Amino acid sequence: MTEPKKKFRQMVPAFVALGPSGVAIRDRLKHLTPENDRALRLVGEHLGSLASRDLAARCRDGNDHGSDKWAARKQGLTAESSSRWAGSITKATHDQWALSRRCQLAHIQNLEAGVRTLMHRLSLPVGEKGTKRAPGGYRSQHEWFQKSRRLAMLEDRLEQERADREAGVVHVVRGGKKLAHNRHNLEAAQLTEAKWRQRWAAERRFLQADGESGKRFGNETIRVTSAGEVSIKLPAPLADLANAKRGRYVLAARVEFKHRGTEWRDRIEANRAVAYRIHYDVARDRWYLTASWQRPAVKTMPLEAARAGGMVAVDTNSDHFAAYHLDVHGNPVGEPHRFSFDLTGAAPHRDAQVRHAITRLLHWAGRCGVTAIGIEDLDFEQEKTREKYGRKRRFRQLISGLPTGKLKARLVSMAAEVGIAIVAVDPAYTSMWGDEHWRKPLTSKNRKMTRHDAASVAIGRRALGHPIRRRTAPPHDDRSDRRGHRTVQADRGVGGREGTRRPVTERAHDARARTGRHEGTRGTSASKTVRDARSTGTWVQDSLLRTE
């Protein structure tokens, strides 16, 4: 009786990731006077109170919101600010409400996945083992009872979230829910009440304005000239603070964008839209100006062009990138590389670690001479539920620790700056097949291959369009090709594919051209058949000398 063949899921073809669709640059507002600091705080707090009130009104409207109510809200804000500030506030409110709705839907889907997993595991007998595709039953009756209580809790949460979504209710806090909760846990957050209030006020200020094409320097509300002069359109109640014409306030600071400064200057001189945001960093006690604009997302290069010069393949892990250089034929070149990062600590530290690791990866890829990086198209949204893996806490932490979302955005944007394309591949079976087919052959006395290094080779071969396994098994009966050629071999157009293999000494990386007999090699043996025996005169003379 033959064993049934394993069924593998359908693989998604490799594709070149689209380039970045937006650009953001930042510069510090230096040499601000105390009057400038006071004016920025007053304007930000006034507009922040209007933004909070507008967000509350938008949340009350729920699903009954329409263009008429949007226009009414904007009209009510115009009297206390200006028409442009009112437009920026209402648009930011709409974006924040829409983001909350998307997060609410993702939370509902996560709860549904947890409920389905719990119901499946509770329906199985206690102690039944699971498979790779589905988890098994719980280990003990006590665990089964605790999970049944958790199922009731998740079902109650799911019912409440579904009711909120149908009613259009969202739960959002200007300034951040985490910071709001820290007010009741100052000691755990290592904050004093004064520092918390300072941070809370900074997060709730509103000093951002979307650009408008066709207007002077691309933005009338927060205007930045090509010389670096920053001016703000003051709201109506604060018009007495103006130090320039038409109710504008000019800051003493001058901005000079070091990164993408030429691109930004060309854009504002053409009066194309540029959005600005002024924000205060409490930890550094500094004011910053961020400029951003959109551009069409396009492919950096076609897939065939990306594969033409080989590939650097990357296996993403929770604390490092495992990378390997592969040539155009899918053969590993050189030694594996590892780019480590530390994702513990505060969010700015984690973000800096990821950026530093990506920078080192891109520099190494440039030295390898490749034009593309192959990486898995990871998405663990369906795998993060704690109900699926149960006791495997370390594995759950490992999956949750992978910076998949931030890695995609960072890698695509940073690679586009150096002209390197990102080829995304299906992540199915790369670790398993890479470990099976590549870990042992590449391991030597001087090279220690890990499972992650072997997985990077599998990722690179899939990105190059090659099968992961090195060679197929030979025919069953003999070495002839009457059963068909191997599936992994040189194509018919490759020169020398039918020729004999060179000796081992010539294939060695340090072998020299063979000019004669080398030490350690044996000459061709003379044939032992009469038909092939040589009858030259020299041979006869030598034979006679030996007989004498």
Residues 69 and 141 in one domain: yes
Beta partners for residue 374, in sequence order:
313, 423
Kindly tell me the sign of the dihedral angle through the C-alpha atoms of 150, 154, 159, 160: positive
Question: 495 lies in a domain?
Answer: no
pLDDT at residue number 392: 63
Residue scoring higher pLDDT (453 or 399): 453
Residues 6+ apart with CB under 8 A from 468: 429, 430, 433, 434, 437, 458, 461, 462
The two beta strands, 275-281 and 15-16, are unpaired
Residues 310 and 439 in one domain: yes
pLDDT at residue number 349: 82
Residues 132 and 273 in one domain: yes
Q: In the numeric block, which tokens belong to residue 482?
A: 């009457």
Q: How many beta carbons lie within 10 A of that of residue 117, not counting itself?
A: 21
Residues 232 and 179 in one domain: yes
pLDDT cut 90: percent of the chain above it? 50
Residue scoring higher pLDDT (20 or 458): 458
pLDDT at residue number 320: 86
Residues 6+ apart with CB under 8 A from 183: 196, 200
Concatenated DSSP letters for 112-135?
A: HHHHHHHHHHHHSPTT----SSS-
Give the integer Cα–Cα distance in Å for 306 and 92: 39
Confidence of residue 389 (pLDDT cuts 50, 70, 90): low
Q: What is the CATH number of the domain that holds 336?
A: 3.30.420.10
Confidence of residue 529 (pLDDT cuts 50, 70, 90): very low
Q: 409 lies in which domain range?
A: 303-464
Section 283-306 average pLDDT? 87
Give the integer Cα–Cα distance in Å for 210 and 182: 31
Give the integer Cα–Cα distance in Å for 181 and 183: 5
Q: Reply yes or no on whether the pLDDT at 11 is more than 90.
A: no
**Of 436, 464, 492, which marks where a domain is finished?**
464
Residues 314 and 356 in one domain: yes
Q: Among 77, 108, 107, which Cα is nearest to 92's?
A: 77
pLDDT at residue number 302: 87
Segment (H or E) for 404: helix 404-417
pLDDT at residue number 401: 56
- What would the pLDDT profile of 27-41 be if each residue is shown by its tens digit? 999 999 999 999 999
Residues 127 and 242 in one domain: yes
Confidence of residue 246 (pLDDT cuts 50, 70, 90): confident
Question: 539 lies in a domain?
Answer: no
pLDDT at residue number 513: 47
Q: Reply yes or no on whether the pLDDT at 213 is more than 70.
A: yes
Side chain identity, residue 278: I
Do 293 and 22 form a contact (C-beta atoms < 8 A)? yes
Q: Reply yes or no on whether the pLDDT at 193 is more than 90.
A: yes
Beta partners for residue 229, in sequence order:
254
Residues 311 and 350 in one domain: yes
Q: Reply yes or no on whether the pLDDT at 316 is more than 90.
A: no
Give the integer Cα–Cα distance in Å for 438 and 432: 10
pLDDT at residue number 478: 56
Q: What's the domain count of the chain? A: 2
Residue scoring higher pLDDT (445 or 241): 241
Beta partners for residue 232, in sequence order:
222, 249
The two beta strands, 372-376 and 421-425, are parallel
Residues 142 and 203 in one domain: yes
Question: 543 lies in a domain?
Answer: no
- Mean pLDDT, the chain, as a whole number? 82
Cα maximum dimension of the chain: 127
The two beta strands, 222-224 and 229-233, are antiparallel
Confidence of residue 532 (pLDDT cuts 50, 70, 90): very low
- What would the pLDDT profile of 427-437 be if each residue is shown by its tens digit? 888 888 899 88
Residues 250 and 351 in one domain: no
pLDDT cut 70: percent of the chain above it? 78
Section 292-313 average pLDDT? 85
Residues 85 and 202 in one domain: yes
Question: 29 lies in a domain?
Answer: yes
Q: Reply yes or no on whether the pLDDT at 281 is more than 90.
A: yes
Which of 114-123, 151-160, 210-219, 390-399: highest mean pLDDT?
151-160
Question: 480 lies in a domain?
Answer: no
Confidence of residue 218 (pLDDT cuts 50, 70, 90): very high
Question: 474 lies in a domain?
Answer: no
pLDDT at residue number 528: 47
Q: Reply yes or no on whether the pLDDT at 534 is more than 80.
A: no
pLDDT at residue number 489: 54
Residues 317 and 224 in one domain: no
pLDDT at residue number 259: 87
Segment (H or E) for 161: helix 141-167
pTM of the full structure: 0.73
Residues 278 and 316 in one domain: no
Residue scoring higher pLDDT (405 or 213): 213
Q: Among 399, 428, 321, which Cα is nearest to 365's?
A: 321
Q: Reply yes or no on whether the pLDDT at 381 is more than 90.
A: no
pLDDT at residue number 49: 96
Beta partners for residue 16, in sequence order:
423
Section 207-235 average pLDDT? 92
Section 32-56 average pLDDT? 95
**Of 242, 263, 294, which marks where a domain is finished?**
294
**Of 253, 274, 294, which marks where a domain is finished?**
294
Section 452-477 average pLDDT? 81
Q: In the numeric block, which tokens belong to residue 9?
A: 């899921």
Question: 341 lies in a domain?
Answer: yes
Question: 526 lies in a domain?
Answer: no
> C-alpha angle 518/524/526, rounded to 5°?
145
Q: Reply yes or no on whether the pLDDT at 518 is more than 60.
A: no
The residue ranges of DSSP E strands in 4-78, in sequence order, are 15-16, 22-28
